[in-house]
Structure 1
Amino acid sequence: MLFSSSEFIFLFLPITFFIYFLLNRISNHLVGKSWLCISSLFFYGYWDASYLPLLLTSIIFNFFIGAFLSRGKENGMHFMRKCSLILSISLNLLVLGYYKYANFFIENINSLSGSEYTIKAIVLPLGISFFTFTQIAFLVDSFMGKAKEYDFINYTLFVTFFPHLIAGPILHHGEMMPQFKDKNNNRINYKNVICGLMIFSIGLIKKVIVADTFATFAERGYTQGYVYDFYNSWATSLSYTFQLYFDFSGYCDMAIGAALLFNVMLPINFNSPYKALDIQDFWRRWHITLGRYLRDYVYIPLGGNKVSPFRNYLNLFVTFTIAGLWHGASWMFVLWGAMHGLALIIHRVWKYAGLTMPKYLAWFTTFMFVNISWIFFRSPNLDTATDIIKNMLDISKSMDVSLPSIPTTDLSRYGLFSGWVAQHISFGIAAYISIFAMSLLALVICSQKNSQEIALNGKSGYIKVVSLALLSSISVYFTLHSESAVFLYFNF
């Protein structure tokens, strides 16, 4: 059940919303929260009910271990607590590793040794990376005494709350539990409803209009056997760069919007990352909760920046290599993470040297690095990635008029201007004029205020109500007239 599906928008979300607040009104908040837990488990099971036992087992195990880690601190059981923490984290990672990396591990063993080991194909449970990392953070917080409130219904809701369950954001226990306990959140808050629906509608538009349009070009460009030239290499790379951004950003907007209907504010996961002026700024804006998680539970435990410069650079490199591996079982993901780790090292050296560059050059350099790194992230292998980049840099072919010609009768499908360009200048330019125009428009959109800045700032006056009606109408129209693909980050 996609956020962008009719089933979710017209059935699941309104039914869950109205029954939740009805139960809060005629009963107590515990009943309402129990309903949200049941609804969230149904939402997860709608994808594949066979993985519900795995999710429930994970919740029960981590809840009781977390309770022990917290209460044991008061009893001075440091050694037992430390052993329990290490064992529980190891078990969580072992389960994640089995489902996400077992096939990858066997393939690499076979490749290195020439063996032919095989295991049954393992299907990755949806959201396993997110609910596993969320609960590992809970265990560490419990050990350190940061998580002090233990209620099983609240904890189950913390893990399963449907807006974040499948693809994040990665939550901290401390930022969610006070919201679930707050009795003021038991009633409908009409300002939150307006803001939530507005953010949800913006996210839906990002997904079904922008991301899914770019997806057509990106999927074609990364199809095996596709022949690249200067134009379609740029079209392929830019298409995926914007598809991924608007897909994941759109999902996060819908998650925040849906949660806000229930008076729950999820942490912002995107803050206009394509406005970044350096790679560090990019990671402060892109997938913010993952960056926060890696900082708190990988980078700082490795020593962070309180070590020698060399160790600090090594910590950065290791942290982002792990970030690459977190996205999936592929050496291309690892390479992508290593590229970002190396870029952060270069940025830090540049910064320490006191060097600067003009603002627009800084933006262009950052954006182009991110664009090129996404090629490695998306490509099935290194040969495909290098082939795309090689053709992107081959300017000598940019005015190649030897590309296949098209009959004059077919020029109309490119539009009046593009048809003239195809006939008199270059078929290549004409064929990709639309994608470059779309990319330019996407950059303009990225440079404007983001959805949170639009919806959450200011009063909920008539302008917001009218804007909400317009956005909702547009988003619902395209939802009913599109076949939206699955969100990309469900794969990670």
Structure 2
Amino acid sequence: MLFNSFAFLFLYLPVVLAGYFVLARLRPRWAIAWLALASLCFYGYWDWRYLPLLMASISLNYWCAARMLASRNRSKQWLSLGLTANLALLGYYKYANFFMASVDTLLGAPLHDWHIVLPIGISFFTFTQIAFLVDCHRGLAGEYRFVHYALFVSYFPHLIAGPVLHHKEMMPQFERPPGLNAADVAVGLSIFVVGLAKKVLLADPLSPLVAPVFAAQAHPQLIEAWIGALAYTFQLYFDFSGYSDMAIGLSRLFGVQLPLNFNSPYRAGNIAEFWRRWHMSLSRFLRDYLYVPLGGNRHHRLRNLMLTMLLGGLWHGAGWTFVVWGGLHGVYLVLHRGWTAWAGMGLPRWWGRGLTFLAVMVAWVVFRAPDLSTAGDVLRGMAGANGLALPHGLAAYAPYFPGSAQFSGIRWIDFGGVGVLALALAMPLAFWAPNTQEIFRHYAPCGATQRRLHWSWRPRKAWSLAFSLLFLGCLFSMNRVSEFLYFQF
């Protein structure tokens, strides 16, 4: 079920909210169980056959955590069991196809004719539980009721595409007595509408500019390649930012604050800052549970950094394009470390922003491409190696340009469509407009600060009217439901 679907907006969400608030008044403990059950139903709506898989994962990890907490002297053995089970599950469903396809390519003959379907959200609920097990082993997590733990893992606003949750942020909130907070509902709905608008009005219209350019054998020329690369760069930005806002807004309806996961990453002045702003919960996980255990900054820090980014790339998908994308970011971070160590300072802010954005966009080309050959084709097009095409309105003047033999009409970009207009609007919004947490800085948590809303806050009439019109505009634009890009990871 998608957040940007009529079934979710007008059936699932009203029923879940009504049941939660009624039970919160009558039987507060049942309200948490209701929310956990609703989250499992949300997951089962995609494919009920994978619901037992999620429940088995939750039960096994809870049991391993309980055994660790009960027998501290055997904590390592239970941790090993839990980690092995989680990684085996992730490895089978996410990487078995990739491994067998790579073997087939090396041997030149197919060895299998089966295809494993990737359960949606498996990367997020697996990483969430790995972090919990490691913290139990470290003595940083306590014992919780099973229903609270099940809700922590399956909580529907985050289940499909993150953020990767941490127990110390969420468990205390689930243990609070549930109740209706009018200010939470007002702010939650406002943030949700902002996220919905990012997805429906900005990200989705960019899709027609992306798919033809990244198709196999497209051979995009200079303008086509740059527009396609820019379109995907901002499509992914507003798709992921929109999902993050919608998840935060939905969670606020229930009085629960999800951690910030997205903070205007294209404003970053260097690649390290980019990773502090993009998918912040994943960056935190990779740092705390991979980079630091590998040795962190204590020894072999460049090797650890490169290995972390390679594994981070592989986490996003089972394919060589994701490995190369992670390797590119590893190289970027190593070069950034080397520059700051040699020069003693970073680049000037304006130069650093431009260089960081360009490096990130080049890496996104590899990330989006179906294979390395297509990625190389698009990058060659961006470098001008595939020639230069003009819009059809200008193609008639091609004979007047020097070297006119290389000019022809643009094939893959419709300059009369809404996509080019959406791209022209998306770029300044991403670079200069205030982001969601800046807009709601007085009413929503920002960064590590978690402040309760003031009960007396109410939206003004103009505010309510503007967001109502924005919501109606989104509804009228939801004629074609599209999945969030991060669902595939």
TM over 0.5: yes
Q: Say if 1:232 and 1:432, in contact at 8 Å, map to a contact too.
A: no
Task: Give the drift of 1:115.
Answer: 4.3
The structure 1 residue matched to 2:352, chosen from 345, 354, 362, is 362
Please name the residue that 1:145 is paired with.
139
Deviation of the 1:315 alpha carbon: 0.4
Deviation, structure 1 residue 203: 0.3
Aligned match of 2:303: 314
| Selected match of 2:211 from 208, 211, 219 | 219
Q: CA deviation at 1:112?
A: 1.7
SS at 1:125 equivalent: coil
Q: Are 1:466 and 2:462 an aligned pair?
A: yes
In proportion to residue count, which structure has more helix? Answer: 1
User: Aligned-pair distance for 1:426?
Assistant: 8.9
Task: Say whether the 8 Å CA contact 2:186–2:459 is kept in structure 1.
Answer: no
**Mapped partners of 1:350, 1:407: distance in 2:** 45
Aligned to 2:450: none
Contact residue 194 and residue 465 of structure 1 kept, 8 A: no
Change (3 A) 1:431 1:107: closer
SS of 1:220's equivalent?
A: coil
* Alignment check: 8 A CA contact 2:220 2:386 kept: no
Matched with 1:44 is 43
Query: 2:118 maps to which residue?
Result: 124
| TM-superposition CA deviations, 1:306-325 (whole Å, max 9, x none) | 11xxx110100000000000
Residues 2 and 217 of structure 1: CA distance in aligned 2, closer, same or farther (over 3 Å) = same
State the 1:461 CA deviation. 5.3
Tell me which residue corresponds to 2:277: 285
Give the aligned partner of residue 326 of structure 1: 315
Matches within 5 A, 1:8-407: 8-27=8-27, 29-73=28-72, 77=73, 80-183=74-177, 186-307=178-299, 311-353=300-342, 354-394=344-384
Amino acid in the other structure paired with 1:448: A
Mapped partners of 1:191, 1:18: distance in 2: 17
Shift of residue 225, structure 1, vs aligned partner: 3.1
Aligned equivalent of 1:449: 434
CA contact (8 A) 2:128 2:164 kept: yes
Q: CA deviation at 1:92?
A: 0.7
TM-superposed deviation, 1:390: 1.6
Counterpart contact for 1:197–1:468, Cα < 8 Å: no
Deviation of the 1:469 alpha carbon: 3.7
Q: Is the 8 A contact 2:192 2:248 kept in 1?
A: yes
> What is the alpha-carbon distance in structure 1 between the residues aligned to residue 271 and residue 233 of structure 2?
15
**1:414 maps to what in 2?**
none
Could you say which residue in structure 2 is the equivalent of 1:491? 488
Unaligned runs of 5+ in 1: 409-424
Amino acid at match of 1:14: P
SS at match of 2:71: helix
* Distance in 2 of aligned mates of 1:435 and 1:480: 17
Q: Distance in 2 between matches of 1:21 and 1:452?
A: 26
1:422 alignment counterpart: none
**Corresponding residue for residue 2 of structure 1:** 2
Report deviation, 1:244: 0.6
Which moved further from structure 2: 226-235 or 108-117?
108-117
| TM-superposed deviation, 1:108 | 1.0
Paired residue type of 1:72: S
Describe the shift of the 1:404–1:213 C-alpha distance in structure 2 as closer, same or farther (beyond 3 A): closer
1:475 counterpart letter in structure 2: F
One-letter code of the match for 2:260? I
Q: TM-score, structure 1 length as denominator?
A: 0.89
**Structure 1 residues 436 and 481: alpha-carbon distance in aligned structure 2, compared to 1, 3 A threshold:** closer
Amino acid at match of 2:14: P
Displacement, 1:470?
1.9
Distance in 2 (CA, whole Å) between partners of 1:293 and 1:468 is 37
TM-score (norm 2): 0.90
| Structure 1 position 227, deviation (Å) | 3.4
Contact 2:316 2:322 in 1 (8 A): yes
Q: Is it true that 1:439 corresponds to 2:423 in the alignment?
A: yes
Deviation digits for residues 61-86 of structure 1 (CA, Å, limit 9, x no counterpart): 1111111112222xxx1xx2212211
Distance 1:464 1:331, change over 3 A: farther
d(CA) in 1 for partners of 2:95, 2:42: 26
Per-residue Cα deviation, 1:398-453 (whole angstroms, up to 9, x for no partner): 5x56x766899xxxxxxxxxxxxxxxx99659955976654342222112211122
1-structure distance, mates of 2:57, 2:308: 25
Give 1:158 shift: 0.4
Work out whether residues 103 and 119 of structure 1, in 8 Å CA contact, stay in contact via their aligned partners in 2: no
One-letter code aligned to 1:450: N
Secondary structure at the aligned position of 2:104 is classed as: helix
Task: Give the number of aligned pairs.
Answer: 463
* Structure 2: runs of 5 or more not aligned: 397-406, 444-453
Q: Deviation at 1:222?
A: 1.6
User: Is the 8 Å Cα contact of residues 221 and 233 (structure 1) preserved in structure 2?
Assistant: yes
Distance 1:47 1:92, change over 3 A: same
Q: Mapping of 1:414-433 within 5 angstroms?
A: 428=410, 432=415
Q: CA deviation at 1:382?
A: 1.7
